[in-house]
């Protein structure tokens, strides 16, 4: 790699394709490699991407008409395209995946895309929307399961955006299609803002390592606010920070200023042209900070690019951790096996810790080049201990006694 490899943004399924249709028209999008995969021919074509950058999956048995909510069909269709996905993604510096969980194609397909990215060792970020409550428990449960079991612990970073946030911001009489369209705009702008953080030219402290550390630490739900000032807008320079922040606070996927006040962490990105000054940057970031708790961790990025000459975009990703802070490990690399500890108290009355055998698979051997055998989103060619995260002790006790 020489640093010139593209950042790839890949849309999966219907919601991903709708977001992509908007994203490709935004400033800065042409610097990214844009791709889409879906089982629905019409949704794929509506992205407006060139044919070579679109993958119609499962055409043979779904006939180009989507998966009708079947996760298994989605997984099968996308897994069938594995080799094509691999060749499209190969050589990417970073992969950003956009999709809505709850339907068939993305719920089944996003984990397959993730396994290809992992195989190619491409750092990745998934921006996923979660279904509205009123879409019913089936979609919601499916989305939450895929998120928890197949994405959170495996992807480098996951930004999960509940579509329900739209309700807390938009008036009740907003037509559903208009609400989705607004959400899609925010998702598209966020995808570009986060890609810009990870591109060359970020002038502040956020980089990929900080970003993934912040999101990987604990399961989280996110919300996003985007404020924009266009180049052709009448706006005095000193009014710009105020305008960006009020636009961001009114964003439909933020859920209002209260969400910022309760955030555990925030990623703040400011995009502008070469006219972006340190004064502008400081004023905008200070204004945003007033809405965040003092103890919230902040990751800030500012990026200047010719695409944004005269214009500004502020994007705030508010992170709320949904599980408590992990306990600090007692004595690395000694790990406790909870089930063993609970079932069999140590005879000596001492602790029952065991040393962990540090196994890491080197290769899948002759299975390396074959189509993976997938079952329940698990690649059966992977050793079971790896798929199930089984901790294997090394046969010795860390403190005294034999078994």
Would you tell me which residues interact with Mg ion (CB under 5 A)? 14, 40, 66
190 binds ligand GTP (CB under 6 A): no
Q: 94 - beta bridge partners?
A: 7
Sign of the CA dihedral with 242 first, then 158, 301, and 296 last: positive
Query: By C-beta, is 178 or 342 nearer to ligand GTP?
Result: 178
Q: 40 - beta bridge partners?
A: 65
Query: By C-beta, is 14 or 272 nearer to ligand GTP?
Result: 14
Q: How far apart are CA 97 and CA 142, in angstroms?
A: 18
> Cβ 70 to ligand GTP, closest distance in Å?
7
Residue 284 interaction partner, one of Mg ion, ligand GTP, none, beta carbon < 5-8 Å per kind: none
Query: By C-beta, is 126 or 180 nearer to ligand GTP?
Result: 180
- For residues 60 and 38, the answer to whether their CB atoms sit within 8 Å is no
**Helix, strand, coil: what percent of the chain each, to 5?**
40, 25, 35
Site for ligand GTP in 67-106 (CB under 6 A): 67-69, 74, 100, 102-106
> Cβ 315 to ligand GTP, closest distance in Å?
16
Angle, CA 377 vertex, CA 371 and CA 382 arms, to 5°: 60
- Phi and psi at residue 139, to the nearest 5°: -65, -45
Which of helix, strand or coil describes residue 341? helix
Query: By C-beta, is 18 or 312 nearer to ligand GTP?
Result: 18
39 binds ligand GTP (CB under 6 A): yes
Burial of 294 (0-12, 13-18, 19+ CB in 10 A): exposed
Question: Which residue has 């059966």 as its token pair?
Answer: 380
Measured in whole angstroms, the distance separating CA 336 from the mean position of its chain's CA atoms is: 31
Query: By C-beta, is 174 or 309 nearer to ligand GTP?
Result: 174
Which stretch in 62-70, 328-336, 354-362, 364-372 sits in contact with ligand GTP by CB under 6 A?
62-70
Q: How far apart are CA 376 and CA 153, in angstroms?
A: 16
Q: How far apart are CA 300 and CA 202, in angstroms?
A: 9
For the record, the structure tokens of 265 come out as 């962490």
- For residues 248 and 297, the answer to whether their CB atoms sit within 8 Å is no
> Cβ 324 to ligand GTP, closest distance in Å?
28
Query: By C-beta, is 14 or 252 nearer to Mg ion?
Result: 14
End-to-end Cα spacing for the chain = 50
For the record, the structure tokens of 136 come out as 């019913």
- Contact map string, positions 102 to 141, toward ligand GTP, x by CB under 6 A: xxxxx----------------------x-xx--x---x--
> Cβ 43 to ligand GTP, closest distance in Å?
7
Which stretch in 180-188, 241-249, 284-292, 389-397 sits in contact with ligand GTP by CB under 6 A?
180-188
Query: By C-beta, is 14 or 227 nearer to Mg ion?
Result: 14
Query: By C-beta, is 74 or 227 nearer to ligand GTP?
Result: 74
Residue 100 interaction partner, one of Mg ion, ligand GTP, none, beta carbon < 5-8 Å per kind: ligand GTP
Q: 376 - beta bridge partners?
A: none
> Cβ 381 to ligand GTP, closest distance in Å?
26
How far, in Å, are 88, 160, 304 from residue 278 at the CA level?
39, 32, 11
> Cβ 183 to ligand GTP, closest distance in Å?
4
Helix (H) or strand (E) holding 194: helix 176-198
Contacts with ligand GTP by CB under 6 A: the residue count is 26
13 binds ligand GTP (CB under 6 A): yes
> Cβ 215 to ligand GTP, closest distance in Å?
19
Residue 74 interaction partner, one of ligand GTP, Mg ion, none, beta carbon < 5-8 Å per kind: ligand GTP
Q: How far apart are CA 151 and CA 147, in angstroms?
A: 5
- For residues 198 and 7, the answer to whether their CB atoms sit within 8 Å is yes
Query: By C-beta, is 126 or 291 nearer to Mg ion?
Result: 126
Residue 163 interaction partner, one of ligand GTP, Mg ion, none, beta carbon < 5-8 Å per kind: ligand GTP
Contact positions vs ligand GTP (CB under 6 A): 13-15, 18, 39-40, 66-69, 74, 100, 102-106, 129, 131-132, 135, 139, 163, 180, 183-184
């Amino acid at each position: 790699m020489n640093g010139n490899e593209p950042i790839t943004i890949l849309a999966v399924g219907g919601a991903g394709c709708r977001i992509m249709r908007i994203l490709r028209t935004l400033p800065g999008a042409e610097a990214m490699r844009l791709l889409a995969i879906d089982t629905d021919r019409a949704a794929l074509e509506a992205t407006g991407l060139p044919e070579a950058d679109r993958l119609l999956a499962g055409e043979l048995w779904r006939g180009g008409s989507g998966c009708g909510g079947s996760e298994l069909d989605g997984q099968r269709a996308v897994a069938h395209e594995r080799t094509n996905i691999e060749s499209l993604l190969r050589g990417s510096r970073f992969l950003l995946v956009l999709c809505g969980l709850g339907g068939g194609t993305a719920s089944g397909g996003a984990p397959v895309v993730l396994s290809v990215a992992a195989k190619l060792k491409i750092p990745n970020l998934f921006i996923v929307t979660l279904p509205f409550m009123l879409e019913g428990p089936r979609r919601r449960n499916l989305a939450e399961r895929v998120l928890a079991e197949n994405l959170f612990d495996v992807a480098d970073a996951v930004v999960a955006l509940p579509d329900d946030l739209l309700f807390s911001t938009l008036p009740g009489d907003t037509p559903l299609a208009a609400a989705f369209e607004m959400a899609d705009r925010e998702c598209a702008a966020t995808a570009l803002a986060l890609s810009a953080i990870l591109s060359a030219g970020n002038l502040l402290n956020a980089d990929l390592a900080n970003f993934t550390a912040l999101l990987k630490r604990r399961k989280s739900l996110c919300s996003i606010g985007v404020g924009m000032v266009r180049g052709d807008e009448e706006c005095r320079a000193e009014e710009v920070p105020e305008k960006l922040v009020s636009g961001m606070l009114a964003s439909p996927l933020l859920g209002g200023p209260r969400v910022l006040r309760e955030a555990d962490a925030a990623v703040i990105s400011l995009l502008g042209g070469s006219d972006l000054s340190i004064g502008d940057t400081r004023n905008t970031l200070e204004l945003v900070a007033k809405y965040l708790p003092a103890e919230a961790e902040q990751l800030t990025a500012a990026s200047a690019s010719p695409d944004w000459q005269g214009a500004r975009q502020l994007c705030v990703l508010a992170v709320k951790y949904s599980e408590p802070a992990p306990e600090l490990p007692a004595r690395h690399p000694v790990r406790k096996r909870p089930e063993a500890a609970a079932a069999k108290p140590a005879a000596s009355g001492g602790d029952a810790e065991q040393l962990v055998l540090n196994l890491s698979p080197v290769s899948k051997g002759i299975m390396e080049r074959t189509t993976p055998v997938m079952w329940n989103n698990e690649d059966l060619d992977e050793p079971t201990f790896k798929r199930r995260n089984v901790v294997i002790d090394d046969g010795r006790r860390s403190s005294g006694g034999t078994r």
